[in-house]
Structures are given as structure tokens and as C-alpha cells.
Amino acid sequence: MDPGWLRRHFASVPPPAAPIYGDRGARPVAATPASVLVPIVPREAGLAVLFTLRTAHLKAHSGQVAFPGGRAEPHDDSPEATALREAQEEIGLHPRHVELLGRLPEYHTGTGYRVTPVVGLVAPPFELAPDATEVERIFEVPLAFLMDPANHRHSSRVWQGETRWFYTMDYDGNTIWGATAAMVVNLSRYLAAAPGAVVPGDKAG
């Protein structure tokens, strides 16, 4: 799997038929549009996916692993525009370094967001300048690790009196979970699909 393969795959395989919603068993109540950039970086050792660790003092999702992204602004003319703007604001990644490949299906969170994951290739060299008020650090995880279903674990917690199920992945001391992990699962299923196949979703119910 290399950048050329990714380009051909996104050009020939339709996106998954259904999204993975937020905590399994929760009703999706999404209303606010948002986007994240799923940055795939070609490295000598293979493709890697870039993540951020959010700072501990943030009011929402503090200390969590995430893709760069956020809610759409009125001047954003597309989910891609939102994802690129947020990535530049959060980690200093200039849009000129990003080759957009396509979208994954919307991810509906239990907190009221409708998130569009936008997948892009980010070819080195590039410079990053994380916003210290939002991002504690930036790290990469091999795409091969994220593609392996053996690394997609189901975990649960009780929230507001209900048990919620979600995906978690542990790599090098970093725990990817919740919305970000579910988007990774969607990406892995999509990349594993044969050309012309319909990719199943995992809708909560």
C-alpha cells in the first residue's frame, strides 16, 4: 500500500454504505456540522496516520487523541474547507501540503455533531506548528497497525446511567478511542474493501 494505491482506491471504491455512530447503543442526535482531516503521511517505513493529543485544560475532549478538525464556520464552502482550515489552525499544516483523496461517511456523535472525515495525503517534508492552547503534541501511528482488526478493541463505560460501547486502540502509550477510533475503523474497512465492493457500516442500535 503506497500513495499511488491510495489514489486508485479512492477513485474506484465507493465510500462505506453506512457510518459507525458514536457510543454503540446511543441514539445519534447530530445537528452541528464539523470536519476532521485524516492525514496519511508516506514514510520510509510505510504509510502513517497523524494524530494530535488535545491539551488537558480544554473544556471538551481534553487529553484525548484526535484528528485535527472542528466545527464548520459560515465561510467554509465545503467539509474539505473546514478540515483544511482547522488543520492549519490547530497544527500549522498548510493546505498546499495536502492532497485530498476523498471523504468517509459522516460520523454522528452523541454530543450533537455531524462530523465528515476528509482523508488527505501529506507528503514530506512539511512543517508543523501546533497551537499550544489546543494541542499538547502530535504523533504518528503506522497505517498497517490501524488496519489490523486485531487492534480494534471494544470497551465500555457507564455514562448518564447507560452503558456505552466504543472502540479503543493502544499504540506506543497512546490510547485512541471513541469518535476518533470509530473513524479509524471506518477507514480500515474501506481500505480493505475490494474494488466495486459495498463496504458495510456498523450502525448503533
At the second CATH level, the architecture of 3-192 is Alpha-Beta Complex (3.90)
Q: Report CA torsion sign: 189, 34, 135, 121.
A: positive
- How far is Cα 19 from Cα 81, in angstroms, rounded to an integer? 21
Strand, coil or helix: 103:
strand
pTM: 0.86
Q: What is the pLDDT of residue 134?
A: 87
Q: What is the pLDDT of residue 177?
A: 86
Per-residue pLDDT of the chain in tens (205 residues, 90 and over written 9):
899 999 999 998 887 666 555 544 445 555 789 999 999 999 999 999 999 998 755 444 445 899 999 999 999 999 999 999 999 999 999 999 999 999 998 888 777 788 999 999 999 999 999 998 889 999 999 999 999 999 998 876 655 566 566 789 999 999 998 889 989 998 998 898 866 555 555 543 3
- Host H or E run for residue 156: strand 153-159
Q: Domain boundaries in the chain? A: 3-192
- pLDDT of amino acid 28: 54
From 136, 174, 137, select the one nearest 57 (Cα to Cα): 136
